[in-house]
Structure 1
Amino acid sequence: MKQTILGAGGAIGIELAKALTEYTSDIRLVSRNPKKVNLTDSLFPADLTKREDVFKAVADSHITYVAIGFPYKTSTWKETWVPFIQNVVDACLEHNSKLVFFDNVYAIGGNNVNRITENSPISPTSKKGEIRAEVDRIILKNMEKNNLQAIIARSPDFFGGTARQSSVLMNLVYDNLVKNKKAQWFCNSKVVHSMGYVPELAKGTAMLGNTTEAYNQIWNLPTDPQRITGQEWITLFASELGKENKFTVLPNWIVKGFGLIVPVMKELAEMNYQYDRDYYFDSTKFNSYFNFTPISHAVAVKQAIEQLKDNTEITTR
């Protein structure tokens, strides 16, 4: 039973490839320059912005997972996301492949992020959120009208695995603390901010994809239900690293100002509604259905740091 990962070279794709070995040894990894994660993986180089490459990549796949991450730039997202997902949906329908879309929660905005469930309304309050909302609507529409067998598997911000450059938590907290600098946080460190642990998110995605009854639904991927603030995240990292627990808070006007000289800050500024109020990701549906207990935040932080240390030792030998 061939299971294909589109965007196999990113943090989620790599961990997903590991998790899928519990269900199949026939795994196809698709990206511009795919590399094996497991010995039995098959590699399929492709430019996934091209419709013909998407169709070739999906052919013969029993399940197609979308784990791609396009460059974090609104203009790029406008050009790529909607055509890409439409091509994927069309390819899955033509080749009779199930679709599992690893999604974020950008389509949910404003105070709806105070508690994010599968029933939270699509309510984007950012340009990137509007794009992701359109992506979700394309999938949902094809579930309803064209008998697409699909799952939207949502994730909050994440860390762990190989997710370093793409993780705000690792960039603002871990990277600064290991350099004996003050950690940083956006907007308000005293409000709740959920984070997912990449290996668990990938495991949950694999579980959903291989559960027939899970299809034609939205699922929030497994995340520790403990409500934890930005300040408490910093404390966990500082304690595990043995560093001084000091940090600074970057107000939104500073983030916007930095955007004039640091492009990624300009892209992050519109997402600050996720940091100036409680942002809580509720995975009760998944946890209850699968009788699953997510790894605790403290253990996830410990494992993430240990993995980075192991990788550093390997690359410096």
Structure 2
Amino acid sequence: MALHTLLGANGTIATELVPVLLANKENIRLVSRNPKAVAGAETMAADVLNYQQVLKAVNGSDIVYLLVGLEYNIHVWRKSWPVIMRNVIEACKACKAKLVFFDNAYMYGRVDGKITEETPFKPISKKGALRAEIDQMLLDEMNAGRIKAAIAKAVDFYGPRCIDKSATGLMVFERMKNGKTAQWLGNANVPRSFNYTPDAAKALYMLATSEKAYGQTWHLPAVSPALTGKQFVDLAAKYMKAKNNVQVVPKWLLSVSGLFNRFMKEMNEMMCQNDYPFEFDSSKFQKAFAFTPTSYEQAIKETAEWFLDNG
């Protein structure tokens, strides 16, 4: 059996990926500063900003998943992400491990039409420019044949067990559960793609265990056509047994909130993904792996059931 090592093992995607790996009887190593024990998996404490610790964590691995999530702060990102990416690349090269990087879509900027893997990087935000930089760092190594890696991109996500790192988790499902009006960032009447976390985890494993996936960028499965914010809230209300009213949070309010709340300030520069249509095309992955994403109806139903059962 191969050894699958998860860097950033306490995060949302790692939480969904571990059961997939266990179901496939893989050997698992969970790595973070303070990894949580999981039956059937090895744990190892490591700081991804320290190369020697990363090297020790990667040693003996067949496949490494870079799933690290940092504080949502551009200053932290600028200081830490280039170091993390270089450490992980060099450790994987030294240990001859394959790398799967769980990435976002910030580097694309505002796009008219569907976003595909061929869409050029045109970031319009500081976070987008930083993500483009670390992507290029890995792409250069991949294209030079120095590392066997795959980049798996996702947009904002939702799903069971998904609260603190999910805008819809906090602003839709959690608020409905507490009897409050759902909120939506930006324009609730334009289509907005999301990834369902159980689908994303299954797709990551499929990429990691397929030789044809390496050397490429992949968009993780997202349902097409995307729902508008209002349509998403309507479905959530149906299964949360709540009112389908939605309170739109405009950009000016985020700007004001940002004076007092760092997270809101950081969110403000990403509003282009919420003010305009943001349609993420995952047809490349779906065709290559004969994968059908979970429908919005079913995924929102499963998410609502989890929130109602875990209040």
Judge same fold: TM > 0.5, yes or no. yes
Instruction: Tell me by how many angstroms 1:21 deviates.
Output: 2.6
Give the Cα–Cα distance (whole angstroms) in 1 for the partners of residues 148 and 301 of structure 2: 37
Q: Which amino acid aligns with 1:65?
A: Y
Matching residue of 2:303: 304
Question: Any residues of structure 2 matched to 1:95-244 within 5 Å, and which?
Answer: 95-111=95-111, 114-244=113-243
Alignment root-mean-square deviation, CA: 1.3
Give the gaps of 5 or more residues in structure 2: none
Q: Describe the superposition over 1:281-307 as per-residue Cα deviations: whole angstroms up to 9, x where unpaired.
A: 111011111111110011111111222
Report the alpha carbon displacement of residue 175 of structure 1 after superposing the two structures with TM: 2.1
- 2 CA distance for matches of 1:161 and 1:6? 21
Q: Matched residues in 2 for 1:36 and 1:281: separation?
A: 35
Give the whole-Å Cα distance in 2 for the aligned partners of 1:186 and 1:124. 20
- Match of residue 315 from structure 1: none
> Which residue identity is paired with 1:198?
T
Q: Counterpart of 1:6?
A: 7
| Residue 245 in structure 1 maps to residue 244 in structure 2 | yes
Q: Deviations over 1:233-265 (max 9, x none)?
A: 111111111111111212111111110112111
Shift of 1:182: 1.7
Provide the residue aligned with 2:32 in structure 1.
31
Q: Specify the alignment match of 1:87 in structure 2.
A: 87
Quote the Cα distance in structure 1 between the aligned partners of 2:214 and 2:25.
19
Task: Show CA shifts across 1:167-223 (max 9, x none).
Answer: 011111122222222211112110000111111101100110000111000001112
Give 1:53 shift.
1.0
Query: 1:261 is matched with which residue?
Result: 260
Q: 3-state SS of the aligned residue for 2:123? A: coil
Amino acid aligned to 1:208? L
Q: Is the 8 A contact 1:160 1:304 kept in 2?
A: yes
TM-score, length basis structure 1: 0.95
When normalised by structure 2's length, the TM-score is: 0.96
Kindly indicate whether the alpha-carbon contact (under 8 Å) linking 2:103 and 2:151 is maintained by their aligned counterparts in 1: yes
- Rounded to whole Å, the distance in 1 between the matches of 2:146 and 2:26 is 28
Q: Which residue identity lines up with residue 120 of structure 1 in the other structure? A: T
Deviates more, 1:20-29 or 1:300-309: 20-29
1:124 partner letter: P
Deviation at 1:146, TM superposition (A): 4.2
Gap regions ≥5 residues in structure 1: 313-317
Comparing 247-256 and 172-181, the one that deviates more? 172-181
Residue identity (%): 38
Matched residue type, 2:61? S
How far residue 125 of structure 1 moved from its aligned partner, in angstroms, is 0.8
Bigger Cα displacement from structure 2, 301-310 vs 127-136: 301-310
Give 1:75's aligned residue.
Answer: 75
Pick which of 219-228 and 58-67 moved more.
219-228
- Code of the residue aligned with 1:250 in structure 2: it is V
SS at match of 1:275: helix
SS of the residue aligned with 2:111? Answer: helix
Q: Deviations over 1:91-138 (max 9, x none)?
A: 1111101000001101110225x4111111111111111111111001
Distance 1:305 1:241 in 2: 6
Q: Which amino acid aligns with 2:91?
A: A
Corresponding residue number in structure 2 for 1:271 = 270
Runs of 4 or more off by more than 4 Å in structure 1? none
Maintained 8 Å contact 1:156/1:281: yes
Report the number of matched residues: 310
Post-superposition shift, 1:24? Answer: 4.2
Whole-angstrom distance in 2 between the partners of 1:311 and 1:144: 45
* CA distance in 1 between partners of 2:190 and 2:26 (Å): 43
Conserved? CA contact 1:3–1:24, under 8 Å: no
CA distance in structure 1 between the aligned counterparts of 2:53 and 2:238, rounded to whole angstroms: 47
> What is the rounded CA distance, in whole Å, between the counterparts of 1:5 and 1:216 in structure 2?
20
